[in-house]
């Protein structure tokens, strides 16, 4: 089932990340400023993460994990191809483009907690670090192919709308694969907690203190993470590269994310959660490099951005699964995603407002990521009986969802 979900994510991320790779240039062509791009893309990430605070507990209460998963994937499959209409919408184009980009990220919020609960259960028997890493590598392969497809269409047609229109084909394929996986997969068996009444949606197990340290660390990390929308806007605004290069850079970032996810996932299972301490270090490098005025430096910043994104979207989820009992994981993923979304919104505003003052932005991000490092260190430090369980210990105790 881990591999099957990976194939679904591959197809959907081909669509989503193919569209996101051109979000900055699209909004810029529709009249958006750097601040507007930062706010829209930051708000998109805030929705993608923050709404999980609602959808995670909702999925836990209803046990409708498959319904949430299918609905969320369908939202992305519809909204990204419809961005092809934005350049033809006249003065409403910027509003339409912004709404559709936000709809894509809302779809991610709807599906992610439920999908991750299904995946955490399936990955328990093989090692959660490995399971999430394998899934993420397939996911990132789609995120790599999507920008390449978008870049090819921009290069051939010379227009942005054609790149979004062609993504309708993999969108239809993604929905077909998802429905096929659903027909062949069982409903999840999520055990009730020791103090739960029959049919109760809560496990009677409190979220541990280390979990909240993790959430605060995620907030700080994302408050310093420049969105790719602003990076791609910078590529075209500073005239560093042709329009078709932005999706190619995004593809490189996704390839780096896949490598980082695999490496950190396997290290997580072997060495424990301290491997996550590299995350704020990677993020601190991004603004000084990705918003520089030399293309090689921008490319280095994009690779650092991709590595951080890969670790955060895979190995961090393994940590949450090992911190929280199975019946509360949907809720836990929602809570930690809310921290991530709030950080992304703050980070989008910060980066957009300080875009023209790169030195000040780099210093601010360095300070924020220093705080993220200390919070993450507090989260992963062993705390005795109530503290963090290493991944292998959780498996030995039979908590595999």
Place 124 in a pLDDT band, splitting at 50, 70 and 90: low
Instruction: Evaluate whether residue 197 is within a structural domain.
Output: no
Least confident piece of the model among 117-126, 208-217, 222-231, 290-299: 117-126
Q: Give the count of beta carbons closer than 10 Å to the beta carbon of residue 277.
A: 15
The verdict on residue 194 lying in a domain is: no
What are the structure tokens assigned to 47, written together? Answer: 């929705």
Residue 251, domain member (yes or no): yes
What's the mean pLDDT in 101-115?
90
Q: Whole-model pTM? A: 0.67
Mean pLDDT over each residue of the chain, to the nearest integer: 81
Number of domains in the chain: 1
- Identify the CATH number of the domain in which residue 343 sits: 1.20.1250.20
Does residue 279 fall inside a structural domain?
Answer: yes
pLDDT level of residue 122 (50, 70, 90 thresholds): low
Indicate if the alpha-carbon torsion angle 300, 306, 312, 315 is positive or negative. negative
- Whether residue 193 lies inside any domain: the answer is no
- Structure tokens that stand for 193 in this block: 């907690």
Of the two residues 355 and 300, the one the predictor is more confident about is 300
Q: Mapping DSSP to helix (H, G, I), strand (E, B) and coil, where does residue 396 land? A: helix
Q: Give me the pLDDT at residue 126, please.
A: 56
Burial 205-235 (b: 16+ CB within 10 A, else e): eebbebbbbbbbbbbbbbbbbbbbbbbbbbb
Residue-number span of the structural domain to which 222 is assigned: 2-185+207-388
pLDDT of residue 22: 87
| Secondary structure (DSSP) of 114-179 | HHHHHHHHHHTTT-HHHHHHHHHHHHHHHHHHHHHHHHHHHHHHS-HHHHHHHTHHHHHHHHHHHH
Spatial separation of the C-alpha atoms in residues 391 and 375, rounded to whole Å: 20
- Is residue 196 situated within a structural domain? no
Which SS3 state, helix, strand or coil, does residue 193 take?
Answer: coil
Model confidence over 366-382: pLDDT tens digits? 999 999 999 888 877 75
For every residue of 293-311, which 3-state class applies, written as one string? Answer: CCHHHHHHHHHHHHHHHHH
Q: Supply angle C-alpha 374, 329, 11, rounded to 5.
A: 95
Does 331 map to a domain? yes
- pLDDT at position 302 over 90: yes
Whether 198 is in a domain gets the answer: no
**46 — phi, psi (to 5°)?**
-65, -40
């Amino acid at each position: 089932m881990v591999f099957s979900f990976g194939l679904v994510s591959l197809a959907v991320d081909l669509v989503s990340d193919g569209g996101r790779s051109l979000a900055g240039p699209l909004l810029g062509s529709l009249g958006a400023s750097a601040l507007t791009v930062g706010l829209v893309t930051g708000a998109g990430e805030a929705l993608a993460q923050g709404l999980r605070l609602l959808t995670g507990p909702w999925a836990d209460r209803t046990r409708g994990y498959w319904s949430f998963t299918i609905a969320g994937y369908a939202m992305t499959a519809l909204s990204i191809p419809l961005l092809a209409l934005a350049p033809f919408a006249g003065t409403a184009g910027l509003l339409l483009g912004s709404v559709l980009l936000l709809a894509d990220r809302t779809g991610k919020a709807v599906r992610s907690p439920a999908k991750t609960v299904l995946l955490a259960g399936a990955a328990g028997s093989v090692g959660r670090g490995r399971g999430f890493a394998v899934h993420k590598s397939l996911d990132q392969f789609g995120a790599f192919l999507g920008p390449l497809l978008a870049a090819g269409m921009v290069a051939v047609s010379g227009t942005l709308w054609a790149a979004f229109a062609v993504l309708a084909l993999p969108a239809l394929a993604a929905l077909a694969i998802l429905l096929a996986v659903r027909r062949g997969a069982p409903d999840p068996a999520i055990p009730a907690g020791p103090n739960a009444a029959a049919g109760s949606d809560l496990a009677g197990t409190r979220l541990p203190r280390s979990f909240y340290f993790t959430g605060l660390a995620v907030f700080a990390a994302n408050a310093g993470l420049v969105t790719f929308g602003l990076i791609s806007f910078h590529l075209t605004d500073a005239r560093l590269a042709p329009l078709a290069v932005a999706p190619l850079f995004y593809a490189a970032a996704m390839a780096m994310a896949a490598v980082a996810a695999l490496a950190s996932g396997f290290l997580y299972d072997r060495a424990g959660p301290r491997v996550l301490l590299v995350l704020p270090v990677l993020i601190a490098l991004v603004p000084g490099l990705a918003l520089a005025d030399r293309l090689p430096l921008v490319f280095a910043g994009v690779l650092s951005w991709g590595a951080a994104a890969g670790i955060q979207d895979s190995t961090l989820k393994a940590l949450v699964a090992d911190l929280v009992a199975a019946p509360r994981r949907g809720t836990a993923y929602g809570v930690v995603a809310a921290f991530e979304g709030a950080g992304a919104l703050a980070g989008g505003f910060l980066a957009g407002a300080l875009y023209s003052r790169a030195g000040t932005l780099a210093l601010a991000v360095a300070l924020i990521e220093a705080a993220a490092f200390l919070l993450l260190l507090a989260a992963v430090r062993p705390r005795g009986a109530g503290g963090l369980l290493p991944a292998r210990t959780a498996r030995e105790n039979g908590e595999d969802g």
